[in-house]
A and B are shown apart, each in its own frame.
Chain A
Amino acid sequence: MFLINCPFCGERDQSEFSSGGEAHIVRPKQPTELSDDEWAEYLFMRKNIKGIQFERWNHAHGCRKWFNAVRDTSNDKILSVYKMGEKPPLNYK
């Protein structure tokens, strides 16, 4: 349980949000060209990082907008939030 700073609404309880998992997984431009291995990579394989992770969130019980967050999964601290389409902050790796 933690607070998330929605870029549109401000700080709200995590229970208002739904998690969209790992961010910056790009949908293949040419799906018909993909091999089975590449599909598996896109659909199923995840970094599942213990530490700093870039991820998507949706303010499902608020403004219903999607955005990105940088969160430390070892202590649930949100380090930064940024809008969809924006480049991830450079000071986290």
Chain B
Amino acid sequence: MKNKYSVFSLIKNALSQHENWQQAWGNPEPKKEYDAIIVGGGGHGLATAYYLAKKHNLKNIAVLEKGWIGGGNTGRNTTIIRSNYLWDASAGLYDHALKLWENLSQELNYNVMFSQRGVMNLAHNLQDVRDLKRRTHANRLNGIDAVWLNTEEVKKFCPIINTSPDIRYPVLGGTLQRRAGTARHDAVAWGYARGASDMGVDIIQNCEVKGIKRNGDKVEGLETTKGFIKTNKIGVVAAGHSSVIANMAGLKLPLESKPLQALVSEPVKPIIDTVVMSNAVHAYVSQSDKGELVIGAGTDSYVSYTQRGSHNIVEETLKAILELYPIFSRMKMLRQWGGIVDICPDASPIISKTNIKGLYFNCGWGTGGFKATPGSGDLFAHTIANDEPHKLNAAFNLNRFVSGDLVDEHGAAAVAH
């Protein structure tokens, strides 16, 4: 790292009123040609470029972003990180990411504020209890920490939850993954951008892809708002807009893009020191370091690219939150927003080659991609560099929709992912 952040650099810059800090990443114009181009400058795309440069020795790489980096779903999610998925393939994928999170601030020399405050998933009916207990066992067989808590233990772990047996959906217990938690979402994009830029990756913002040039069954380059750029490896990490890019290459993907909403309250003193998710009533909540309650709502049922979402979705979530946490009844909500999430029929992602040579897709993360950012970047970089998937993402290929070998994670994902 050329300009390492440390206590010494902090002292040095304090002496000059913090006016001489170096730029964290460059702002270059695109070159005529690259060895690989990543389309999409969110967390996953920047992580992909970072690991391509770091582990696969590719130096001539560009990341194209139509807006500003981290301005899409990276800046719009509720920052939850966990790996307690049901199936072996998912457990491998998400726990790989969680292990990278544990060392990410050191790796990037950038504080991503990773906080292992635990994630608790609540059960509200007998089927929830069965499903969550089964998932706990599956997790432990895969070496992922998970414990089952009964109602009293839930109350002890998070005292503000209403565990009264006479509420509409009483709390019958829950699972807890202690290694899970949250991180600062913007810092993840910025940290990867800085790390990638430091290794010579060109991060090009305000550059929208308009077309993919193909020669027969292989790619030759990209038409962009900053002109044509030649390359024979394109990695698309465009989240909600993946289908738009795929259509440019004449591909159809098994995706539907829908608005997913979140909201934050006014900041208050520390009141909830963990993340609590409740799939059955669709409410999940944590508290940011600024003190705001961070609340995740659901997706709309229809395809839309509006980044808004419907009021009735927010209303349903807040109803559930108030029943579970009566203490929040007089909180005021400050902001609400939507992000466009690309949802796969099996609620699992696609990190895959396509039948067009040199065109790779990393998409379908749906409502829960943030948690996987480092692992997704690492495995996608491997897939692009070797033209073969890593064993951890082999199951997440596009061909599974033809073979029928789906990774059905609706059980682990439900609506809250």
Whether A and B are associated in the same complex: the answer reads yes
Chain A 1-24: CB-based contact to B (< 8 A → 1; otherwise 0): 100000000000011001101100
- Beta-carbon contact of A46 and B402 below 8 Å: no
How far apart are the CA atoms of A32 and B253 in the complex, in Å?
A: 24
Contacts of B311 in A (CB 8 A): 1
Residues of A within 8 A of B378 (CB): none
Nearest A residue to B346 via CB reads A44
For A19, give the chain B residue with the smallest CB separation: B302
Q: How far is the CA of A30 from the CA of B53 in the complex (A)?
A: 50
Contact at A50–B301, with CB atoms within 8 Å?
no
Say what secondary structure dominates the interface of chain A.
Answer: mixed
B402 adjacent to A36 (CB under 8 Å): yes
B401 touches A40 (CB 8 A): yes
* B253 and A45 form a contact (CB under 8 A): yes
Q: How far is the CA of A49 from the CA of B248 in the complex (A)?
A: 12
Q: Report yes or no: A1 in contact with B310, Cβ–Cβ below 8 A.
A: yes
Chain B contacts of A46 at CB under 8 A?
243, 252-256
Determine if A14 and B303 form an interchain contact, defined as CB atoms under 8 angstroms apart.
Answer: no
- Min Cβ gap B13→A in Å is 44
Q: Is the CB of B306 within 8 A of A47?
A: no
**CB neighbours of B310 from chain A (8 A):** 1, 14-15
Determine how close the nearest CB of chain A comes to the CB of B42; give it in whole angstroms. Answer: 17
Report chain A residues within 8 Å CB of B306.
73-76
- Once the chains bind, are B303 and A53 in contact (CB under 8 Å)? yes
Q: Check B106 for interface membership: any CB of A closer than 8 A.
A: no
A48 beta carbon closer than 8 Å to chain B: yes
Pairwise interchain contact A21-B401, C-beta atoms closer than 8 A: no
CB pair A45–B252 under 8 Å, yes or no, is yes
What range describes how many residues of B lie at the interface?
20 to 34
Q: Check A44 against B345 for contact (C-beta < 8 Å).
A: yes
B257 proximal to A (CB < 8 A):
yes
Once the chains bind, are B302 and A74 in contact (CB under 8 Å)?
A: no
Given A46-B255, A48-B257, A37–B402 Cβ distance below 8 Å?
A: yes
Contacts of A47 in B (CB 8 A): 243, 247, 252
Residue pair A19, B402 in contact (C-beta under 8 Å): no
State A19–B253 Cα separation when bound (angstroms).
19
Chain B residues contacting A55 (CB-CB under 8 Å) are 302-303
A residues less than 8 Å from B252 (CB atoms): 41, 45-47
Judge if B214 is at the interface, Cβ distance under 8 Å.
no
- Least CB distance, B248 to chain A, in whole angstroms: 12
Q: What separation, in Å, do the CA atoms of A52 and B402 have in the docked complex?
A: 28
Given A1-B311, A45-B401: A18 in contact with B301 (beta carbons within 8 A): yes
Given contacts A1-B309, A43-B401, A46-B252, 18 further A-B contacts (CB under 8 A): A1-B312, A19-B302, A19-B303, A21-B303, A22-B303, A36-B404, A44-B345, A45-B252, A48-B253, A48-B303, A50-B257, A73-B257, A73-B303, A73-B305, A73-B306, A74-B305, A74-B306, A76-B308
Residue positions of B touching A, CB distance < 8 A:
241, 243-244, 247, 252-257, 301-306, 308-312, 342, 345, 401-404
Closest 4 CB pairs of A and B: A48-B243, A19-B302, A44-B254, A1-B310
